[in-house]
Structure 1
């Protein structure tokens, strides 16, 4: 298939793109690449790239594609909270506009990177795909609103699918250290402390980034009637943990580490458990490969090999919000997170 992957240079995209290429798909990427200085380990797969902000997509950019995998957006809560109007503009308005342009251009399939954060403050019950949305952050609100807007566009010519990923973790060339498993493992390796900024009580489903990529491939290659206008919780039902359980796993794997709570640690409003059985019943090609223990071991081994330091993952290079703020201070991005034209031409 001829596929456009937006955000192909991000945390998930840099894992998914080479997997698509290995399966023989023709992939074009679209990414403003504001995190180009943030590659951690490994190399990015080469693919034709449209370097453009998702807000600036034109019909000519997407004509001729069989499918769009839409990953691009502001991808964590601190970045989403930074300027909430930009989260709405980039994550919601630009995504809905992209779907509208794709439908008009004859793109048959539209795979959207939604999130289990749609469920937000939901308590201890297991949630299937028909559960109510209750997002508590601008990021979660944006994801829920895109689903509400794009789903009614579905018809015989345009087939959207919504992949509600559990909280991601695991190794990627463009790793995110703000994600709970990655973050706790990095703290443990660099300081000896499994450092919890909440009281550890909230529930959270987790899924390895490679398994998220496998879910996109399974949806992309499935018969249309299996995925048409469907939403899928992505992960394994057995991989729901309280944050303190993840911390205990990290402590058991990283030698000499111990759990410590921040002085202001309190409950986190984001608390949800998800039932991921539907995707497995519907798509027999989706077979998750990772567990939290294996993922933490992978991260620990990589952090050792890379000699990761606290400054690396808490500093301006790899911390998303800090990196964006640095680019603004340095004049490489404007206040709307657009790359300044003269500098964009110079790099």
Structure 2
């Protein structure tokens, strides 16, 4: 990597599921990294790089302007991952969710421009499309978000586009559902939760099963963030790209998990009224940026199985830290108690 391609990168949410895999990669590529995170899911998720001379960890809330400025001053790039993630977590406290996912986005973008950030990468979501009948859901289709979580994700895309200016390169990525092992592991995502149940209960319950979900391995997701930091500005400025890989039905994901975990795993199918399906096409990002994922859903399952066998995922069926909703419940209870 040339000196000109090295950044001082602020990663908001850098101690989260994706961030805790991304941050070590950024350091390995020669970047200086600042992590701004509340560390709700543990202070040790970046232990593999703790004390690194090019890493600064800022434990704080990005809604606090002083904390935010501390993270941004001197940064040349921002990768914005921080949010209340997924619909159920957002709906637990919509006011909190809006304040983090939308209201805080304005000062983040404004201060980034003010302090000379050259490149801003925003993690939106493939959920902004809502339900589509099309086999290939492309970036050209209209957005019809169904929930407040996805609505504010889409609205932030507009905020970033309005702020775009010469010298302030802006890129929006719409990731599929990420899967695979992370030091800040989530076991509330489709592939991960089915693998957890298969390994530890030897039984998977599938609700419906015909619903499709777009999936992306966490290694591919984090590789993409690293790659866009090095790409010429004209290739990514003002662009919006889906970032996904395998569109699979829930039933097919369950079968893929069983194939990796063992033939004794039982799959039980239950009826559901929620038959929403999501597919995304990632042809545009392959065509324009040459990006193509390397890892599959079975790769993610094998990775998780190995982590279970190595004892890296203790208390996986009960510990709150693997679930965004359970962790938020605990945090909200602590806040009420403190008040």
Question: Following superposition, which runs of at least 4 residues in structure 1 exceed 3 angstroms of deviation?
Answer: 57-61
Answering whether residue 216 of structure 2 is matched by residue 212 of structure 1, we say no
Matched with 2:112 is: 102
Q: Does structure 2 retain, via aligned residues, the 8 Å contact 1:38–1:318?
A: no
Matched with 1:117 is: 127
Answering whether residue 256 of structure 2 is matched by residue 249 of structure 1, we say yes
Matched with 1:201 is: 210
Q: Does structure 2 retain, via aligned residues, the 8 Å contact 1:190–1:308?
A: no
* Equivalences for residues 3-152 of structure 1 within 5 A: 3-36=9-42, 39=45, 43-46=47-50, 47-58=55-66, 59-152=69-162
- Among 283, 290, 293, the alignment partner of 1:288 is 293
Give secondary structure in 1 for the equivalent of 2:49: coil
Matched with 2:306 is: 301
TM-score normalised to the size of structure 1? 0.88
Instruction: Using the TM superposition, give the Cα deviation of residue 76 of structure 1 relative to its aligned residue in structure 2, in angstroms.
Output: 2.4
Matched with 1:344 is: none
Give secondary structure in 2 for the equivalent of 1:306: coil
Q: Does structure 2 retain, via aligned residues, the 8 Å contact 1:211–1:235?
A: no
Q: Does structure 1 retain, via aligned residues, the 8 Å contact 2:36–2:71?
A: no
Q: Does structure 1 retain, via aligned residues, the 8 Å contact 2:260–2:301?
A: yes
Give secondary structure in 2 for the equivalent of 1:312: coil
Q: Aligned in 2, Cα 1:111/1:22: closer, same or farther, shift over 3 Å?
A: same
Q: Deviations over 1:119-170 (max 9, x none)?
A: 1211342111111112222221121111022111111132210011010000
Matched residue pairs, number?
326
Give secondary structure in 2 for the equivalent of 1:87: helix
Q: Deviations over 1:296-339 (max 9, x none)?
A: 11112222222857x5344423222112222333x3x459xxxx
Work out the CA distance in 2 between the residues paired with 1:156 and 1:214.
26
Q: What is the RMSD of the two structures over their aligned residues, measured on CA atoms?
A: 2.1
- Among 229, 234, 240, the alignment partner of 1:225 is 234
TM-score normalised to the size of structure 2? 0.90
Q: Aligned in 2, Cα 1:61/1:140: closer, same or farther, shift over 3 Å?
A: same
Give secondary structure in 1 for the equivalent of 2:299: helix
Q: Does structure 2 retain, via aligned residues, the 8 Å contact 1:185–1:296?
A: yes
Query: Is there any run of 5+ residues in structure 1 with no aligned partner, and where?
Result: 342-347
Work out the CA distance in 2 between the residues paired with 1:44 and 1:231.
32
Instruction: Using the TM superposition, give the Cα deviation of residue 77 of structure 1 relative to its aligned residue in structure 2, in angstroms.
Output: 2.2
Answering whether residue 190 of structure 2 is matched by residue 180 of structure 1, we say yes
Q: Aligned in 2, Cα 1:38/1:266: closer, same or farther, shift over 3 Å?
A: farther
Instruction: Using the TM superposition, give the Cα deviation of residue 292 of structure 1 relative to its aligned residue in structure 2, in angstroms.
Output: 0.9
